[in-house]
Amino acid sequence: MSRYARKRDANERDIIDALRNAGCAVIQENNVDLYVLPPHLPYWVAMEVKTKTGKLTDYQQRLHASLRDNYNYNIAIVTTIDEALEAAELR
């Protein structure tokens, strides 16, 4: 593994599995952790996965602010399966 490889939060795999089991397409990325396409929505939902104690990096804060301010696009920050399902409007 490259020394520059991105660290994934421990809860990310469980969240991905739950979203896929709910019928979502899920793509893992690096700038934003997940892009989720729920089966009932015509658009992708971006999600940043964090642990309960995890914090956004400075880069993530700037990226989220830029997307929100320039494109009116919000990124959901999720720490649990329930939060991810809610962000995907499945709950």
| Intra-chain end-to-end CA distance of the chain, in Å | 37
- Give domain status of residue 4, yes or no: no
Contact 57, 47 (CB under 8 A): no
pTM: 0.85
- Give domain status of residue 28, yes or no: yes
**Local structure of 49: helix, strand or coil:** strand
- Give domain status of residue 52, yes or no: yes
How long, in residues, is the chain?
91
Query: And the tokens for 23?
Result: 């019928």
- Give domain status of residue 20, yes or no: yes
| Residue 18: domain span | 12-87
- Give domain status of residue 38, yes or no: yes
- Rounded Cα–Cα distance for residues 54 and 49 (Å): 9
How many domains is the chain partitioned into structurally? 1
- Rounded Cα–Cα distance for residues 49 and 44 (Å): 16
Give per-10-residue mean pLDDT for the chain (91 aa).
57 96 95 94 94 92 94 94 96 81
Q: What CATH number should be reported for the domain holding residue 82?
A: 3.40.1350.10
